[in-house]
Amino acid sequence: MKRILPSYPLFIKDPNFSLWSPSEELNKSHVKTWFGAEKKIYGFLKTGRNAYCFMGNAEDFASYGVIPAKQTDLSVTAFSTDYTFKAGNAKLKLRFVSPLPPDDLELLSLPVAYMEYEIEGVENSEISMFVSGKIAYNDIRENMNKSVRGGVIALDGFEAGFVGLKRQLLLSNNDDAIGADWGYWYLTGETAYLADVADLGAYLAGGVKAFSANGEDKYIASVNHAKTGVIALGYDDIVSIDYYGDFLKGYYLENHTIGEALEYTQKNHKAIDAQLDKFSADLKARAAKYGEKYETVLNASLRQSVGAHKLVRDREGNVLFLSKECDSNGCIATVDVSYPSMPLYLLYNPELVKGMMRPILKFAKMPVWNYDFAPHDAGTYPACSGQVYGLNQTKTHYHGNYYKGGFAETHFPLYQLPASFKVYNFAYQMPVEECANLLIMFLAAYKFDGDISFFENEFALCEKWVEYLVKYGLKPENQLCTDDFAGHLKNNLNLAIKATVGIAAYAELTNACGKGETGAKYRKIAEEFAAEIIAFAAKFPHMPITWDTDEKTFSLKYNFAFDKIFDLGLFPQSLFESETDYYVQKCAKYGTPLDSRKSYTKSDWLMWAACLTDDFEKQKKLISALERFLRETPDRVPFSDWYETVDGKHWYFQARTVQGGCFILLLNK
């Protein structure tokens, strides 16, 4: 079977509803969450006396005479993963659809994903899916009752089985590689059941459906006889987000029930398909000039990026698009995660960029954040409890232990602390990085939707942040930045470029709101910074990593990107081309290293570097390396953005929203 991705998205909606297949053949392994927890989901096709397994590890049921269906095809689009199987005389086509269009907030937040099926070649058949009750909780040792309850509800023309923990502890953990221990899961079918593992065996061995469901190891089941149909999986988390003390429901479930969501999907899945197909066709047309490999990269990125967020609204009705910093610390609304993911959302719905920023802007105005620079994050998913990065641990322990210590915990509401309480350690902040990120994001949102009021309402904050960049941005002190995996750097040139672009962004924004004198002042400063950087770069065949190193070092200067995209005119195209020439020269099998200190790279920044050049052949070299990584990395995890360029092994990052940054080439004119 031809490999396309390291892991295949099946049912993806948000960080707690994210299920993947880690192999090409759907029936050779168990379905996993984005963080690798096995969730037993099985699919069976019965024809005559034979039962075939098409989903989940088929070996689990070999003793029952179940035959592994033979997979014959696999393909991936922006919103679907499609399979074809041979099962005796039957041909089975499956399409796993996750409706996540950024330009339709109702559909994006609909808490349902679905599998469409089509059976050919046999007269009588029965297709079923069994979902373990363990989908409803984290399988870790805790002093918590992990028993589930469940049942079946009748809806309009179909049934739905449901399952969830008997003890519901809403928003009961703030952590990284962990799911929700609350809410209820639903599975639809012509008929639905609550069963146990013995019932499942009896069904496979003899077709028995008089399920007792008396055992502890429960399943919800869907059984269907129609030749074509849809099986939908839904999740009602009841409460999605703690937003500084406000408990918020998901955007769709604010005004609908989960039953309505399931009914809408069941009745309208073909219309949903048509809408998603139209989006995919548009995406394909936009990506065509960069080739099929780039389209593969975008298809690998879209569901992952959108599905790493939860969409809600605050008390005033403003959209909040809250990311989880998956597999890097679990933070919510992290600025240096939102910034790289931004290109996808600028293309299709800049309101979502504002939705990323609002939690940070709110926290930055709270007394506990008494700094002149921007915060890093707003808490740990799913709680906006105040920044948790770089806490001062000398007086107390503010946040929960990682669950690997034995328990899942929640954070203290840091946002309630007074300004006099020293919460944060300055040595672990990212002041230049985050100030520039946010100013560039403000300009990006304005450029794509024309609404300057969003910036005007936050003028006081931005005024502080631009001044911070003026004071400290050109020659940054030794400090954290988003790329400090190989160690912190003083005089980081890429960070200086970001600060320069951030100052110019502020100048553009102030001009747009009628403050021409202020705009001219900061434009002059940005030009002076740029001139100094250009003069320094002219001394070398390529730019070093810092102000105090030479051409023996290098780094990806991806922060040039928005100077080019927005025609800010700070740096010449000739500099972009000479830099890209060097990146192509240094490109290993799976990409160009992030900098000269180590051989690993970041996929998002690799595409940002590719957008700097006007030469397609240079872009093609970098795109091809990334697409090759997807096909050949030995680690079968959702698209990692931090990986080795020599052997393709991933480091710690997977399933992160930053892959939205891979869309940046589509922002080029």
Question: What pLDDT is attached to residue 395?
Answer: 52
Instruction: Say whether 392 sits in a helix, a strand or coil.
Output: coil
Per the document, the length of the chain is 669
Instruction: Say whether 95 sits in a helix, a strand or coil.
Output: strand
Show the 3-state SS of 219-277: EEEEEECCCEEEEEEEEECCCCEEECCEEECCCHHHCCCHHHHHHHHHHHHHHHHHHHH
Handedness of CA 632, 635, 641, 643 (dihedral sign): negative
Residue 662 · residue 339 · CB < 8 Å:
no
Q: Cβ of 68: how many Cβ atoms within 10 Å?
A: 18
- Which of 243, 260, 217 has its CA nearest to residue 316? 243
Q: Cβ of 353: how many Cβ atoms within 10 Å?
A: 24
Interacting residues of 574 by C-beta distance below 8 A, sequence separation 6+: none
Measured in whole angstroms, the distance separating CA 597 from the mean position of its chain's CA atoms is 28
- Distance CA(27)–CA(16), nearest Å, equals 23
- Distance CA(221)–CA(227), nearest Å, equals 18
Q: What is the DSSP string of 153-194?
A: EEETTEEEEEEEESS--TT----SS---SSSEEEEEESEEEE
Interacting residues of 468 by C-beta distance below 8 A, sequence separation 6+: 372, 373, 431, 432, 435
Instruction: Say whether 398 sits in a helix, a strand or coil.
Output: coil
Instruction: Say whether 42 sits in a helix, a strand or coil.
Output: strand
Residue 83 · residue 93 · CB < 8 Å:
yes
Residue 296 · residue 124 · CB < 8 Å:
no
The two tokens of residue 212 are 């007792």
- Distance CA(370)–CA(374), nearest Å, equals 10
Strands 383-384, 241-243: pairing kind = parallel
Burial class of residue 617 (count of CB atoms within 10 Å of its CB; 0-12, 13-18, 19+): exposed
Q: What is the DSSP string of 386-431?
A: S--TTB--SS---SPPPGGGS-------GGGS-TTS--B-GGG--H
Question: What pLDDT is attached to residue 140?
Answer: 78
Interacting residues of 271 by C-beta distance below 8 A, sequence separation 6+: none
Report yes or no on whether pTM surpasses 0.85.
yes
Which residue carries 């029952």 as its tokens?
64
**The amino acid at 440:** I
Domains of the chain, earliest start first = 8-276 (2.70.98)
The two tokens of residue 559 are 């922060």
Q: Cβ of 573: how many Cβ atoms within 10 Å?
A: 11
Interacting residues of 204 by C-beta distance below 8 A, sequence separation 6+: 44, 51, 61, 64, 65, 66
Which residue carries 């900098």 as its tokens?
595
Residue 362 · residue 244 · CB < 8 Å:
yes
Residue 374 · residue 381 · CB < 8 Å:
no
- Distance CA(497)–CA(474), nearest Å, equals 8
- Distance CA(114)–CA(117), nearest Å, equals 10
Q: What are the phi and psi torsion angles at 44 (to 5°)?
A: -130, 145
Tens-digit pLDDT profile for residues 92-139: 999 999 999 999 999 999 999 999 999 999 999 999 999 999 999 998
Instruction: Say whether 136 sits in a helix, a strand or coil.
Output: helix
The two tokens of residue 17 are 């509803």
Residue 114 · residue 310 · CB < 8 Å:
no
Residue 94 · residue 116 · CB < 8 Å:
yes
Q: Cβ of 8: how many Cβ atoms within 10 Å?
A: 22
Q: Cβ of 292: how many Cβ atoms within 10 Å?
A: 11
- Distance CA(46)–CA(455), nearest Å, equals 59
Q: Cβ of 284: how many Cβ atoms within 10 Å?
A: 15
- Distance CA(169)–CA(431), nearest Å, equals 36
- Distance CA(224)–CA(119), nearest Å, equals 11
Those residues of the chain that have pLDDT short of 70 are 393-407
Q: Which residues pair with 83 in a beta bridge?
A: 74, 94
- Distance CA(553)–CA(472), nearest Å, equals 23
- Distance CA(636)–CA(25), nearest Å, equals 13
Tens-digit pLDDT profile for residues 210-240: 999 999 899 999 999 999 999 999 999 999 9
Interacting residues of 195 by C-beta distance below 8 A, sequence separation 6+: 130, 203, 211, 213, 218, 219, 220, 221
Instruction: Say whether 44 sits in a helix, a strand or coil.
Output: strand
